[in-house]
Structure 1
Amino acid sequence: MQDFKIATCQMDVCENKDENIEHAIQLIKKASANDAKLITLPEIFNGPYDTAKFIEFAEDENDGQTLQAMSKTAKKHDIYLQAGSIAERCDDKIYNTAYLFNPDGEIIAKHRKMHLFDINTKTMKFTESDTLTAGDKITTVDTDLGVISIAICYDVRFPQLWTLMSQNKSDIILLPAAFNMTTGPLHWQTLIRTRAIDTQAYVVATSPSRIDNPYYVAWGHSMIVDPWGKILSEAETKEEILYADIENNKIDDVREQIPVLKNKRNDIYETIMK
């Protein structure tokens, strides 16, 4: 792993796909000009977070407008780009899929959201499974920058997934997400810091900014958290680009001080209860 600067773009998202793509490109350009080597975007950054819009905006991976634009942008600016997530159409199914591009503009990893956001609280109801299909693979890739894993939003609530990403020796875990005004105030920061402490890895959570709209109002508060659980950078509610320095020695230092990865009791955890 090498030391580098990361940028996460908390961006305004509107109903127009073309405008969202162009806006993302401009934010990426700005972050790249500030020497960021890895840049991230929010969950469903190219359109409204809405089950009906997932169908309308869904793209095929091989010829999709959004992915072609992101590929060209990563190559142009010579960066790793975690292009948030989009609605991916594959055969007769739609997935909420996050893509990672290398500086050559190639897709080197993709994560299909494993845990679909089906909730019914006292203040809101949302059912992703009305439209989406869940993914079934852990996503980890070894890059020049370090070992990177990807999860999406609701995936953050399932520690079993994060244990597996930790077992993959992840240095950085990227989390495009769109928490809402119900769950965000109490759970967002706590969950992200907890997962960084659990995995002893950097966790980068990227949200859309908070804009009033008829579909879904995001909590915002994108953040970059280090392996000690310290918040290195945090947005408020408006559009903002966050920056932080990713330092290899910080990961090693935390894991040496509190060697939870060595102290795990797999002999107990993997026991089958009869």
Structure 2
Amino acid sequence: MTKIAVVQTTTGIDPAENAATLVAAIDEAGREGAAMVFTPEMSGLLDRDRARAASSIVREADDRVLVAVREAAARAGIWVHLGSLALRRPDGRFSNRSFVIDAVGNIRARYDKMHLFDVDLPTGESWRESASYAAGDRPVVVGTPLGPMGLSICYDMRFPDLFRALTDAGAQLLSVPASFTRPTGAAHWHILLRARAIEAGVHLVAAAQTGVHPDGRATYGHSLIIDPWGEVLLDMGEAPGIGYAEVDPARMQDVRARIPALKHRRVVTAPIVIA
């Protein structure tokens, strides 16, 4: 059994304050003996005022939240999946980028969110992620103390082909950091994440933003750890904080032996017959 930690935050518009929250959580997770800690999407800055946010979005090399998290990981001796940061690209657009950081503070992997959230909700909320952000173009699997881990971010969860590619590449754990809206969260969060874990037969960790943020948005919370059978090992509800669960790597082999769906998958290349 391996202990992991999930951080659920109400990230604001001040990167220094957000960094302090993350560092405190990493320190606690290290003291509690967790092997790895997971943080939400946009852990360093959450601000829908694009003009104001732009002044805080910098290049990766200059991001003080990333520096603080790497230092905290090394100090605590713990791996960190930094769910994502908003970073400035050389072409002036932004990237929504996650990082896997090892227990000495080295960056082991980067992943840029591939699917961007452009939608008009029935509540009147409108989101145009592609107006500022560039989409990533490659899936990523990285070795961790929990085994090979496939990376994704938030809206990616609605695209099962990505998760098939990750498990085909050997992923034994999936991470889905998120900043999910409340209406879509209530409707789809648990269903989609349990489905992704079940169809792949792997553990899934989804660290989430929660509550009403300083920029006025409201997020769903309910950070989850799900086992390969679809059982919810941890649901953090709506309160910010840090949660823990023990995961058993042998569980994946047990579930896959009972339902060997991955062995039965076929690549559909023949033309579809429309009768």
Deviations 1:166-212 (A, max 9, x none): 11121111111011112010101101101001111111111112125
Counterpart check, 1:157 vs 2:155: no
Q: Give aligned-pair identity as a percent.
A: 31
Q: Which amino acid aligns with 1:60?
A: R
Does the Cα contact within 8 Å between 2:11 and 2:44 map onto a contact in 1? yes
- Once the two structures are TM-superposed, the CA of residue 116 in structure 1 deviates from its matched residue by 0.4
- Once the two structures are TM-superposed, the CA of residue 54 in structure 1 deviates from its matched residue by 4.8
Counterpart check, 1:237 vs 2:255: no
Displaced runs of 4 or more, over 4 A? none
Q: Which amino acid aligns with 1:202?
A: H
Describe the shift of the 1:65–1:251 C-alpha distance in structure 2 as closer, same or farther (beyond 3 A). Answer: same
CA distance in 2, matches of 1:218, 1:56: 23
Q: Which amino acid aligns with 1:117?
A: F
Counterpart check, 1:16 vs 2:4: no
Does the Cα contact within 8 Å between 2:180 and 2:209 map onto a contact in 1? no
Does the Cα contact within 8 Å between 1:48 and 1:215 map onto a contact in 2? no
Instruction: Name 1:6's counterpart in structure 2.
Output: 4
CA distance in 1, matches of 2:109, 2:270: 32
Instruction: Name 1:142's counterpart in structure 2.
Output: 143
CA distance in 1, matches of 2:137, 2:198: 25
Instruction: Name 1:82's counterpart in structure 2.
Output: 81
Q: Which amino acid aligns with 1:224?
A: I
Describe the shift of the 1:250–1:263 C-alpha distance in structure 2 as closer, same or farther (beyond 3 A). Answer: same
The gaps in structure 1 that reach 5 residues or longer are none
CA distance in 2, matches of 1:54, 1:164: 33
Describe how 1:16-35 pairs up with structure 2 within 5 A: 16-35=14-33
- Once the two structures are TM-superposed, the CA of residue 272 in structure 1 deviates from its matched residue by 5.5
Does the Cα contact within 8 Å between 2:12 and 2:213 map onto a contact in 1? no
Does the Cα contact within 8 Å between 1:54 and 1:87 map onto a contact in 2? no
TM-score between the two structures when normalised by the length of structure 1: 0.94
CA distance in 2, matches of 1:95, 1:36: 29
- Once the two structures are TM-superposed, the CA of residue 50 in structure 1 deviates from its matched residue by 2.0
Instruction: Name 1:99's counterpart in structure 2.
Output: 99
Instruction: Name 2:217's counterpart in structure 1.
Output: 216
Describe the shift of the 1:65–1:214 C-alpha distance in structure 2 as closer, same or farther (beyond 3 A). Answer: closer
More deviation, 56-65/24-33? 56-65
**SS of match in other structure, 1:50:** coil
CA distance in 2, matches of 1:138, 1:126: 24
Q: Which amino acid aligns with 2:200?
A: T
Q: How big is the alpha-carbon RMSD for the aligned residues of Structure 1 and Structure 2? A: 1.6
Q: Which amino acid aligns with 1:67?
A: L
The gaps in structure 2 that reach 5 residues or longer are none
